Structure 1
Amino acid sequence: MPTRHICELELRADEQSHRLHLERKVERAFFEAGKALAELRDRRLYRSTHRTFEEYCRDRFGHSRQQSNYLIAAAGVYENLTTIGCQNVANEDLTTNGCQILPTNERQIRPLTKLEPQQQQEVWQQAVQEAGGKVPTGKIVKDIVQRIMERTQIPNTYQLGEVCQILAKDNPELRGKGGCWAIVTQVNDFTCTVRTWDGELTVGLKHLKSYEYLPEDCQQMQEIWERISRVYSSGLEESVQKFLESLGKLKRAYLTGLEEKVLMLLESEYAFRIIL
């Protein structure tokens, strides 16, 4: 059989322009997905079909809430990089073909979500240099972030069962969680895994502040968490869920008399539904 040769045919100017436009769309796909997911979550546009954002993501897109959070956080980092690096260039399609080298997938910038906006830009520029002026791999970025964290390491002094307040600051993954109290369930080097009224998440140390409760207060909050979580998972009306969310932002280790009565009423409704 004759050997097939690949012909390299030059593109017309309009074809070249269209090719670059399509390539930029591919490179920005994760950014657009992250922005869309953030709006779906923040405006609760899933509420007509699903009770929680986690259930919606699993059924509609086939991935976990954590995967959605990765994309949302990556979109925030990407936007930050373009804002700082390309703020004087009026081209919304800027990617690696523009005034700077920009990420082309979520994994490349996942390690940057742990850093402040200015640090994100500095680390990304350093990663691009180490990659020889090309888009760096996630490993290159991760290694640089790890070196920074090792230089500035702060010992993790949190204890299992400790009650903390979540400080959302500018972390997009913690949007809606600011001010919530949480119980530490796992202590890591630079993070803690905590339980809030509606689930579990991993939070950096700078986004936590201990309430410095006594052991008996921590135990009391553990019991409150169990009660709120049990009722919240029963799929009650939205107004009821709002009340439970308010309990998730308590700044005291007890319920008032009225809060206790309302929660007991909801628990009885929950028990009634279980019987049915």
Structure 2
Amino acid sequence: MAPEPTWEWPGYTKVIHRSVYSAIDPTNPDNSTAGKVVVVTGGGAGVGAEIARSFVRSGSKAVVILGRRESVLSAAKKELEALGSSKILTYAADVVDEAGLNKAFTTTEEAVGKVDIVVACAGFMPEVVPAAIAEIGDWWKAFEVNVRGLLLTFRAWMPHKSNSTPSFMYVNAAGAHFAPVPGLSGYSPSKIAAASLIGHLQAENPDLHITNFHPGILETPVPSMATKSQFAVTRDDISLPAGFAVWLASPAAAWTGGKFLWAHWDVDELTAMKNEIAQGNELVMTLNGWPKQVDVVVKA
């Protein structure tokens, strides 16, 4: 759908985008992924499918999509093959299935080579109900998919990552850093945990580029926070996170490792502030208000 001209969130950059623009356009030569092998989990539908399309448009050597439904993957494969010259591979694999993920990455390397870029887009949102009455299996599935599935995807990639500026990104959600909202006790804490995990993975692997971002508020066939929660918020165009993911994999975004970004934020402004962001330790998950400048008195 067309992006809406209003904006109800706090800002970070002066310019806010709600659809793709030149700096993140996948056809922009600066964002070329020529020669790159890309894996997108949750890539058969919704945001994941649009991200896969953008990597085809940016000239990737191969785009590999993982998902749970063979029929959806088959339809997505035909569409992607019609978009460009990228080799398209599909694997039916659930992100909580460690053996299935390992097999998918092993087979990918055998078929098209080492994996340069991973976009972890698979996610789950439980029903929006108070924690005290939530169906516990549905509530806990958010952590299984959004945290365990994220880690399993990263671990499956590690033996098969390329040596050419490998990049791993997670499609997170702004709910990870909002104030608590009734009914989101399963979803938001799982996204907080995922954001913290991304920071730890980057700290443990400083030679890699590992980051996460909020994709926007989108209308997709896949149930999302916007549709399940029925929040009255304006929507973005799905081209926004798709282009942003391609930009995140570019050399221009190499400085974003360990950060939590919003796809809406203007990337030229972000890049101009990168030293300020690094020095202020901004865009990372911390405890708001701490540390406070006080004269500490220690009592044994």
TM-score, length of structure 1 as denominator length: 0.22
Q: Which one has the largest radius of gyration? A: 1
* Structure ranking higher on relative contact order (CA contacts 8 Å, 6+ apart): 2
Would you tell me which structure has more helix in proportion to its own residues?
1
TM-score, length of structure 2 as denominator length: 0.21
